[in-house]
Amino acid sequence: MAGEATITLEVFRYRPDDDGEATIQDYRVPYHEHWVVLDALNWIKDHADGTLSFRWSCRMGVCGSCGMMVNGEAKLTCAVFLKDYYPSAIRVEPLINFPVERDLVISMDDFLAKLQAVKPWLIRDDEEPPGAEYLQTPSQLAQYQQFSMCINCMLCYAACPEIDGIPDFLGPAAIALAHRYNLDSRDQGQSERQEVLGGEEAVWGCTFVGECTAVCPKNVDPAGAIQQAKVASTKDWYRHVLLPWGKR
Ligand code: SF4
Ligand code: FES
């Protein structure tokens, strides 16, 4: 790299099978204006240290697997350029609010369980006849389309100040996903999801800081989904109190 422009990456290292101590390791990496942080990590992996572990797949902001803390902010590393930090060093750490498995790899188990808890599929009361289609108008699609753009990157969980204090908080993406199905004209499962959504560890655990929406790379607006879900939850409660014999 003699004579070549370089930039320093300060990378979080944690190898539980070795010493078990987390450290920060510095790497000097070639600087190219068109490189993103993920390119620099891949250069390290290929040329400097093959033991470095991190997740990525699509390199185009679609798979949601490359989320990390970049200088303390939750980012998709395939979407942040070295030139935005050069010539300063860039610190790369695993997403906060998740257990670290190794280096920059976090455990997704709790996040996936929360997604599953909201029943993210179409629920119907009736038996679907073979070949049945449930058509939607463009305006019915528009009701939930924004909330279906989530790529499960988990940046909103790293940005959320509630997760640290309420580890069981359902969290932004899971609530936005539940709201997406509740708004779908083909779905009849709102009352089933309400049992999960209506508690202190779900919509009412959110204090509307809004950081989840600020970091979301897909403009999903999970904070907006949570506020709308609060309104729906309140209406559901009143319906239940005023019409206790009726269907929730
Ligand atoms: S809501 Fe946005 S930030 Fe959260 S997981 Fe989905 S895409 Fe990522
Ligand atoms: S590698 Fe797929 S979103 Fe970054």
Domains observed in the chain:
6-106 (3.10.20.30), 109-242 (1.10.1060.10)
Among protein residues, the one with the nearest Cα to ligand 2's atom 1 is: 59
| Structure confidence at residue 246 as a pLDDT band (50, 70, 90) | low
User: Which atom of ligand 1 has the smallest separation from the CA of 155?
Assistant: 3
Q: What is the mean pLDDT of residues 34-57?
A: 98
Distance 213 CA to ligand 1 centre (A): 8
| Structure confidence at residue 5 as a pLDDT band (50, 70, 90) | very high
Mean pLDDT of the chain: 92
Write the pLDDT tens digit of every residue in 30-39. 999 999 999 9
Q: What is the mean pLDDT of residues 173-177?
A: 97
Q: For a pLDDT cut of 90, what percent of the chain falls above it?
A: 77
Write the pLDDT tens digit of every residue in 60-97. 999 999 999 999 999 999 999 999 999 999 999 999 99
Ligand 1 near 76 CB (within 6 A) = no
Ligand 1 near 11 CB (within 6 A) = no
Q: What is the mean pLDDT of residues 96-116?
A: 97
Q: Nearest ligand to the C-alpha of residue 57?
A: 2
Distance 57 CA to ligand 2 centre (A): 6
3-state secondary structure the chain: CCCCCEEEEEEEECCCCCCCCCEEEEEEEECCCCCEHHHHHHHHHHHHCCCCCCCCCCCCCCCCCCEEEECCEEEECCCCEHHHCCCCCEEEECCCCCCEEECCEECCHHHHHHHHHCCCCCCCCCCCCCCCCCCCCHHHHHHHHHHHCCCCCCHHHHHCHHHHHCCCCCCHHHHHHHHHHHCCCCCCCHHHHHHHHCCCCCHHHCCCCCHHHHHCCCCCCHHHHHHHHHHHHHHHHHHHHHCCCCCC
